[in-house]
Amino acid sequence: MFRRGVNYDVGITFNPDYMSRPDFDRHVVERELTIILEDLHCDAVRISGTDPQRLADTAAIAVGLGFEVWLSPHLHNESPSTTTEYTLDCAERVARLAGSSSKVVFVVGCELTWFMRGILPGANLQRRMLHPLAMPRLKWSHRPTRLLKAWLDDAVRGVRRVFPGALTYAAAPIEKVDWTGLDYVSLDYYRGKQNRDDYSSRLQRHFAFGKPVFITELGLCTYRGAEDAGGRGWGITAVKNGRLQIKGDHERDESLQARELLDMLHQVETAGVAGVFVFTFVAPKLTYDDDPRLDLDMASYSLVRSYRDHLGTAYPDLPWDPKLAFTTVATHDEELARTID
């Protein structure tokens, strides 16, 4: 079965000052997951978040609706040992769901070379990403690979003891992952200026491990130029006068987001992946505004346009409206369901 998926964020704490979904309402979660199932035509959902109980509660709702659930805990900027303890806690909380259903996959970690302390130099994500030695070390040094492998080996052994389902890791393409102890190869695979011409062909090396290959993230933001920024399209924001704003002059473009997203889907599907999780369904903190400087939704990868202070029109009980990309993905997935499954 080809998985037609989307990422669903239940609240990721990126740093002490920013949490992607401050409010968690089970009714809203169930309503949005139902829309993902019935209107977006997805049969799989990658549930991402930091709070273990939010993750477990959302997974239970999604399993009840009939989804294949990929549970993806996100603990940022902690030590390897703390991250391992957290990961095992999350696995234990959903073990019962996996025991009663073969439709739960546990994502042991996500791009931990960047998000976890200890593999690359730097006290936080920004410093690690901007460190002048980061990319050279990832490309030429074996140390980051050894450290990631050591963490994964230990975490996978622990998770296997408490979780009966399939395991994977959501890797950045530059990470050299030992997939031996994992069931699936999974990539957060964005397209930008640097890989536009060989986006599909670069994917081929990941099939060499003899395991199903999944795309756990794929998408782009909602402004002209986002097609070149790839996975760093969020970088057009900055705090000014105590408020998150768009820096520089950028032009909103929902058509570009929809068009580029569809092309990326076609490319990875033609390459032979076993499923794709579009990034992402909703980003409640990145709200739309008529003022381009305050239109944080431009820096969002979401398929829906969130509002700060009012409800939408397409779904009048929810504070967002579908973007063009929502309709594009819905049409694509509905057609895919008829032709592949």
> Which domains, and CATH codes, for the chain?
3-339 (3.20.20.80)
Strand partners of residue 244: 239
Higher per-residue confidence, 338 vs 139:
338
Task: Note the pLDDT tens digit of each residue in 13-58.
Answer: 998 888 999 999 999 999 999 999 999 999 999 999 999 999 999 9
* Helix (H/G/I), strand (E/B), else coil: 20: coil
Q: Show the tokens assigned to 105.
A: 């996959």
- The answer to whether 297 touches 314, Cβ cutoff 8 Å, is no
Task: Note the pLDDT tens digit of each residue in 243-290.
Answer: 999 999 999 999 999 999 999 999 999 999 999 999 999 999 999 999
Give me the helices (H) in the chain, please.
26-38, 52-65, 80-100, 112-115, 125-130, 134-140, 143-162, 199-202, 226-229, 254-271, 324-339
Instruction: Measure the CA–CA gap between 52 and 60, rounded to whole angstroms.
Output: 12
Average pLDDT over residues 74-81: 96
Assign residue 118 a region (left: φ > 0; alpha: ψ between -120 and 50; beta: otherwise): left
Q: What percent of the chain has pLDDT over 70?
A: 98
C-alpha 33 chain-centroid distance: 16
Structure confidence at residue 133 as a pLDDT band (50, 70, 90): low
